[in-house]
Structure 1
Amino acid sequence: MNLCGGRRQPPATAGEVDAAAREVVEKAGYGSNYLDMVGYGVGQRQSEFYPIIGKGRAEIIEAGMVVDLLLPTIYRPGTGGPRVTDVIYISKDKNEILTDYPRELVRV
């Protein structure tokens, strides 16, 4: 499943969303550096914390929700890693990324 542009639309469990992301990370060889929690719900407060999107989580992601996904959530011990946060509105037909920033890779 892919929350934005996805192969499957909601509802889905938070664990299914995590598993789809985890599959990509594992194939790239970074599975051991991937965090167990990759996102959470957004509501009246900045962070509602539910649903928690992570490994094996059973909370349901459904149309009308707004979630915050921490991407790429891959960290190397002693080095660290980037954290880019996407806020996504979950729709019945098409999900929408609400955050707006440049997405091009910047090499220094």
Structure 2
Amino acid sequence: AQVAAVVKLVDDGKLSNKLARQVVEGVLAGEGEPEQVMADRGLAMVRDDSLIQAAINEALEAHPGIVEKIRGGKVAAAGAIVGAVMKATKGQADAAQVRELVMAACGQA
């Protein structure tokens, strides 16, 4: 039942696959129900667009060379910016959403 609850949290977009592993570990360690472990460990997905956009803007400003590569058509370079944003949000942002926003910010949407 607890595994099903973790799967539902992932399906509902409240938890990433990567963070789900930490929730399962917490449940197995006796820290409580999945929702409780997620809350106690601060593992919920970041859904605040302004927070995500701020992290993207910061990453873009910190890596102007990568931004130029993306604008020049090397879209694979966006991975470095996405990685920086994921690090800034402690892995709690939706990587696909971050990538879309990065590409849009660099004129590649």
Q: Using structure 1 for the length normalisation, give the TM-score.
A: 0.28
The structure carrying a bigger helix percent of its residues is 2
Q: Using structure 2 for the length normalisation, give the TM-score.
A: 0.28
The structure carrying a bigger strand percent of its residues is 1
